């Protein structure tokens, strides 16, 4: 019996040793690959806590290609955390145009003000401190702490979760951000980070691999630096893991956007301070659960409008909504809003959907942005 226990202990020790060597190899291969293949992205050229906070906030729900354009412009306008903290909400929303999910811009502004007020203008280095800032969650805090300040903080986003699940042939689906699959991924990411001499490089390497090689569909396994360690590849299941998430349930809405024109001026009004697109500018818009008839729209606007000229419709999807925008042009009187000339119109913070409304009303190209 004693011999058996002893064998079992040494067998377990060998297993642990092999797993530790595999983890060390993974870390080494990923970091070496990242150093060779990393994309030249503007937030990688010059690192600082503030720059990382801006980039990570933008990247939360926007594609890298779009963030690349807007990040440089945003930093030109607000080059330091103090400059951002001193800006008005309307200025920041205007600079955020085209990125969507404007709550992020408000949170970023609040975070900048908090950093100036409570941290002497220096972005905290500690992940727990970072998480106290508005809009900074577990992922963003870990990204800043590890990538900029070299702290051994694991991070998990969609790319990381997919790469780790495939490397370990771990079933269980993508899961929700708080489910068991996510919790497993955080534990696995922590094990990799613990073995990494440079945690930030490792974190970026796993994300980059997910973005460039271990893509959701058709992963490029022959080009993968860790193919030799990949259990999903060995089992031929790399395209089945992780199981797809069910599509989000979206509420259907109909927004009737009325472009009222006087000469070269257009009437805009500001949305309320709560809910979607809060505090942004828009043409007078009536929201309903079904398409409305012309007279219902006029009644809802409480306007003396002679006629509504339809200019077609388009679909706009958000995470939780499926909105059909019905576009109209009208001449008439409304006792609300503000008449904006072309320069004011260009500078007003407006959602992409409202920009599409204006383009349709003018008969110009509707880019669908
Ligand atoms: Fe992803 Fe293929 Fe690399 Fe495995 S071998 S990590 S499935 S790209």
pLDDT in tens, 230-287: 999 999 999 999 988 788 789 999 999 999 988 889 999 999 888 889 889 999 999 9
Three-class DSSP category at 22? helix
Per-position b or e across 122-150, b if 16+ CB within 10 A of its CB: ebbeebeebeebebbebbbbbbbbbbbbe
> Tell me: the pLDDT tens digits for 105-122?
999 999 999 999 999 999
pTM listed for this prediction: 0.82
78-92, 138-152, 206-220, 243-257: the lowest-pLDDT one: 243-257
Q: What is the tens place of the pLDDT at every residue in 64-99?
A: 999 998 999 999 999 999 999 999 999 999 999 889
Q: For position 283, what pLDDT does the model report?
A: 96
Model confidence at 174: pLDDT above 70: no
Cα of 244 to ligand 1 centre, how many Å? 17
Ligand 1 binding residues, C-beta < 6 A? 163, 166-167, 213-214, 219, 221, 224, 226-227, 230, 232-233, 238
Is 28 marked active-site?
A: no
User: Mean pLDDT over residues 136-144, rounded?
Assistant: 97
- Given a contact cutoff of 8 angstroms between Cβ atoms, the answer to whether 58 and 67 are in contact is yes
* Token duo for residue 84: 């951002």
DSSP-assigned states of every residue in 245-279: PPPPP-EEEEEEEEEEEETTEEEEEE--SSSTTTT
Most confident option among 25-39, 87-101, 341-355: 25-39
Distance 167 CA to ligand 1 centre (A): 7
What is the pLDDT at residue 98? 85
Ligand 1, atom 7, residue with closest C-alpha:
238
Q: Please tell me the predicted confidence (pLDDT) of residue 177.
A: 56
Q: Locate the ligand 1 atom nearest the alpha carbon of residue 219 and give its number.
A: 8
What is residue 13's predicted lDDT score, i.e. its pLDDT?
64
Measured distance CA(291)–CA(79) in Å, rounded: 45
The pLDDT of residue 100 is above 90: no
Strand duo 285-288 + 251-262: pairing: antiparallel
- Separation in Å, CA 157 to CA 9, 208, 218, 219, 325: 36, 11, 19, 17, 32
Supply the pLDDT for residue 181.
73
Contacts of residue 348, defined as CB under 8 A and 6 or more positions apart, other chains included, come to 94, 268, 281, 340
H helices, E strands: number in the chain? 16, 7
**d(CA 239, ligand 1 centre) in Å:** 9
Of residues 7, 19, 56, 274, which has the active-site annotation?
56
End-to-end CA gap in the chain = 71
Residue 7, pLDDT above cutoff 50:
no
């Amino acid at each position: 019996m004693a011999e058996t226990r002893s064998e079992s202990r040494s067998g377990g020790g060998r297993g642990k040793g092999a797993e530790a060597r595999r983890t060390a190899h993974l870390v080494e291969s990923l970091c070496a690959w990242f150093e060779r293949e990393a994309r030249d992205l503007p937030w990688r050229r010059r690192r600082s806590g503030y720059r990382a906070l801006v980039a990570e906030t933008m990247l939360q729900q926007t594609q890298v290609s779009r963030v690349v354009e807007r990040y440089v412009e945003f930093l030109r306008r607000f080059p330091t955390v103090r400059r951002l903290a001193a800006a008005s909400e309307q200025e920041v929303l205007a600079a955020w145009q085209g990125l969507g999910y404007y709550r992020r811009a408000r949170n970023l502004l609040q975070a900048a003000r908090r950093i100036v007020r409570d941290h002497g203008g220096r972005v905290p280095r500690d992940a727990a401190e970072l998480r106290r800032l508005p809009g900074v969650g577990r992922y963003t805090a870990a990204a800043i702490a590890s990538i900029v300040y070299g702290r051994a903080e694991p991070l998990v986003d969609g790319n990381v979760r997919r790469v780790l699940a495939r490397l370990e042939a771990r079933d269980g689906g993508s899961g929700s951000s708080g489910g068991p699959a996510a919790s497993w991924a955080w534990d696995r990411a922590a094990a990799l980070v613990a073995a990494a001499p440079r945690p930030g490089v490792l974190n970026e390497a796993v994300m980059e691999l997910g973005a460039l090689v271990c893509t959701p569909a058709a992963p490029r396994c022959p080009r993968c630096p860790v193919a030799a360690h990949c259990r999903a590849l060995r089992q031929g299941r790399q395209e089945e893991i992780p199981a797809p998430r069910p599509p989000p349930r979206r509420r259907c809405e109909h927004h009737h956007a009325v472009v009222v024109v006087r000469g070269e001026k257009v009437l805009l009004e500001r949305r309320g301070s709560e809910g979607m697109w809060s505090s942004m500018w828009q043409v007078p818009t009536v929201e309903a659960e079904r398409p409305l008839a012309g007279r219902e729209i006029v009644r809802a606007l409480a306007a003396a409008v002679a006629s509504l000229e339809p200019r077609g419709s388009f679909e706009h999807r958000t995470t939780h909504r499926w909105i059909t925008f019905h576009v109209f042009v009208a001449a008439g009187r409304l006792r609300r809003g503000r008449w904006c000339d072309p320069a004011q119109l260009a500078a007003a913070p407006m959602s992409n959907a409202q920009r599409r409304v204006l383009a349709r009303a003018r008969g110009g190209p509707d880019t669908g942005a």
